[in-house]
Structure 1
Amino acid sequence: MGGILEGKRILVAGVTMDTSLGFAVAKVAQDQGAQVIITNFGRALSITRRIAKRLPVEPAVIELDVTNEEHLAGLADSLRAHVDGLDGVVHSIAFAPQEALGGNFLNTSYADAATAFHVSAYSLKGLAMAALPLMKEGGSIVGLTFDASVAWPAYDWMGVAKAGLESCARYLARDLGPKGIRVNLVSAGYTKTIAAGGIPGIERVENVWSERAPLGWNPTDSDATGRACVALLSDFFPKTTGEIVHVDGGYHAMGA
């Protein structure tokens, strides 16, 4: 019996380590029958190629820098070497310079804040448009966020960028809906990834998470997040778009 993504072709943009949320999505997607292609760029590309071997089926790895217009323009052709279309796209990409994180909010330059916004928010639109030529039959775009409705310790301009990402997803849902493409986000609970580990002071978030999440929360287990993304990539949410699904043990709903 096939899985809920049987026969579907899924692009997961932004996979570095096997602790990354993108890796978790790729793994569950493969477990559910999808053909998966993953991306990274620059010096991290060689790491991604090694990590790809740890997935159930070694996927194709292509280079994609979402801030590089040439990469975006060539994405459809790069993908056509492996698939004849796409049914789903996962945006698992975020970055902010150190100067934009760790309690430096008031002193961050516009250039550093703009970098955070470009990589972490605007790139959702760029990736969607680059993949669009291969999504002629519609499909699903899923991005990963970290609840931008509140201010977090140390998160600073990345939090602002995530707010931009969440708004961007709603506008994409509006404009891509007529093409049969759904756009949703998964707001994952705090997870110990390489990216999270690079934020000075973020451990203050980790310390309170398990106390407030009524379902409990394990910051080293990203399987629940991967499952939610795969559910949104599947045909089980045919009329859901512009939504943010919280996968955080219920943390977001608790006042204290």
Structure 2
Amino acid sequence: MGLLEGKRILVAGVTMDSSIGFAVAKVAQEQGAEVLISNFGRALSITRRIAKRLPVEPVVLELDVTDQTHLDGLADQVREHVDSLDGVVHSIAFGNPETLLGGKFLDGPWDDVAQALQVSAYSLKSLTMAAKPLMAPGSSVVGLTFDATVSWPAYDWMGVAKAGLESTSRYLARYLGPEGIRVNLVSAGPLRTIAAKAIPGFSDLEDLWTTRSPLGWDNTDQEPTAKAVCALLSDFFPATTGEIVHVDGGFHATGA
């Protein structure tokens, strides 16, 4: 029996098969979960194509977490396929690389910063509340972050957005805990996803992990991160919420 046997999981924000969200969907299926995935706009057609590469082709939902109409209709859309959700994965982030990343922190315009904060941080609350009518005590929400306790070269306003995401997860844990819903994050080391490739200077971050990760770090392997997400979705962390689990080869625990 798999770790997620019988559970229904929504993985929001799956685009390419190189994404963490795709890896989460794959591992969750391998562990017995029934998985739904989502995307929106022009990326939706890509998501529908890559969905066929999963062990079981999942239902693909259209969901823009910045569109209140989509959020309001999420529960009904999910109920067309399953009657409830046991877990939700937030694999969503965006910051305009031309104005907010790669050393552009001091010049980042508010409109683009506001978009990054809404998509990358506020949407954790938006998605969770949209899915909440489907979730019973024991359900789990898991988001993905990149350590926001320090500044990083090139990451700039996305680092600020991730700090907002981390704080949002703690407040969700506070307010949803009494209803038995857990909210946690997984902080992964740098991975070569489409999103990462869009960050000017991201290779500088990758280089840091080469020499400082006690366990080593493979920036092309999303599976360790996906396994951590699935563990938090499972029943093996019944009393853990508001936590950030690092999957970074131990980099976060080392000094210079």
TM-score where L is the length of structure 1:
0.99
Inter-partner Cα distance in structure 2 for 1:248 and 1:211? 12
After superposition, where does 1:94-173 map in structure 2 within 5 Å?
Answer: 94-98=93-97, 99-173=99-173
| Aligned twin of 1:184 | 184
Cα distance, 1:138 vs. partner? 3.8
Contact 2:138–2:238 (CA under 8 A) maintained in structure 1: no
Cα distance, 1:210 vs. partner? 1.8
Cα distance, 1:207 vs. partner? 1.3
Tell me the amino acid that sits aligned with residue 18 of structure 1: D
Tell me the amino acid that sits aligned with residue 27 of structure 1: K
| Aligned twin of 1:39 | 38
Matched residues, number: 255
RMSD of aligned residue pairs (Cα, Å):
0.6
Inter-partner Cα distance in structure 1 for 2:139 and 2:208? 37
Cα distance, 1:208 vs. partner? 1.8
Tell me the amino acid that sits aligned with residue 24 of structure 1: A
Tell me the amino acid that sits aligned with residue 173 of structure 1: A
Cα distance, 1:137 vs. partner? 3.7
After superposition, where does 1:1-256 map in structure 2 within 5 Å?
Answer: 2-98=1-97, 99-256=99-256
* CA deviation string 1:142-187 (max 9, x = no partner): 0000000011111100000000000000000000001110000000
Where do 5+ consecutive residues of structure 1 fail to align? none
Where do 5+ consecutive residues of structure 2 fail to align? none
Indicate the percent of aligned positions where both proteins have the same amino acid.
72
Inter-partner Cα distance in structure 2 for 1:152 and 1:58? 37
SS of the equivalent of 2:140 reads: strand
SS of the equivalent of 2:143 reads: strand
Tell me the amino acid that sits aligned with residue 7 of structure 1: G
Inter-partner Cα distance in structure 2 for 1:104 and 1:248? 26
Tell me the amino acid that sits aligned with residue 197 of structure 2: G
* CA deviation string 1:62-110 (max 9, x = no partner): 0000000000000001100110000000000000012011100000111
Runs of 4+ off more than 4 Å = none
Tell me the amino acid that sits aligned with residue 90 of structure 1: V
Inter-partner Cα distance in structure 2 for 1:46 and 1:210? 36
